[in-house]
Amino acid sequence: MTAILTRPAWTTDLEVEIFDKLLDQYAPHLPKARSLASRPPATLEERENFYHFRVAGAAHDLFIVQVCAKVIGMLPDAELQLFLSRQIGDDGAHAENTRLRAQAISGRNPIPDIQKQVQKHWDYMGDLPIRNWQGFLAFELHYELHIVATLFLNSRTSKINDPDSAKFAAERIVPDEAVHRLGIVDWWQRKFAQASPAEKEDLIAQLLEADEEGQRRRNPYLRDHWLLSQKAIGVEIDDLPVLYDAWRRQVLAYFLDVPVAHLPQLVSVND
């Protein structure tokens, strides 16, 4: 694989630029910005669907907290530990806000449902996130970076949202998540920069293998979650598999510092 000599820093502007290029290529009919305002869930059925969508959101964040809390003492890297301590605090706050909104919307305590969903993440991911640093990095890629194509589509095409959740997301979640993504890029780049050319080849192979395992493990969850998102918030999901796969290739090419075309064929979300 040939290294690219100059590449831009990973920023939220670069993310939009990459995603919009993918839209032009794979789904030019989808919007580049939100055109319709979303509305709160109205009927009993809409509130119930929205509740399950929020429970899934809280479980995603709480699973991140649980994994990072286990790993923070396992990897003796003070810079990484400082980053993880922030991620634990942020994603814990996101899970807590989402839990409270789910409670307000449904009138019931969502903790048992959230716990059940967090357990599902542990069941399908197995020991990958806590096996070694490669597995943990693959977990971070899947839970923070590979999902970005889905987040873009949600933010542009969803029809139902809760105003309080939307406000918290805009003020807190969106900026926090950008910090998380940049922190993961930074951790990997520090590790990669210190490696010799021969070690770099090994690191690339190890990361790809762990990331592919993560994709195979996550596929049934992702497909179910997208159906729930369509039902609960009316997001456009027809083009999501192709956009998800293409976005993931872009992220991995950036991480591994190779042109996208030089990556091997990867596991698809449809596999």
Binding site for Fe ion (CB under 5 A): 61, 91, 94, 177, 180
User: Looking at beta carbons only, is 141 or 204 nearer to Fe ion?
Assistant: 141
User: Looking at beta carbons only, is 182 or 267 nearer to Fe ion?
Assistant: 182
Shortest spacing between CB 25 and Fe ion, in angstroms = 28
Shortest spacing between CB 85 and Fe ion, in angstroms = 13
User: Looking at beta carbons only, is 144 or 236 nearer to Fe ion?
Assistant: 144
Query: Which tokens go with 198?
Result: 């021969």
Q: Which residues contact 249 (CB under 8 A, 6 or more apart)?
A: 260, 263, 266
Shortest spacing between CB 101 and Fe ion, in angstroms = 14
User: 257: left (phi > 0), else alpha (psi -120 to 50), else beta?
Assistant: left
User: Looking at beta carbons only, is 23 or 128 nearer to Fe ion?
Assistant: 128
10 Å CB burial of residue 61 (0-12, 13-18, 19+) is buried
Helix (H) / strand (E) element for 210: namely helix 197-233
Shortest spacing between CB 61 and Fe ion, in angstroms = 4
- C-beta atoms surrounding 4 within 10 Å: 12
In Å, how far from its chain's centre is CA 245? Answer: 13
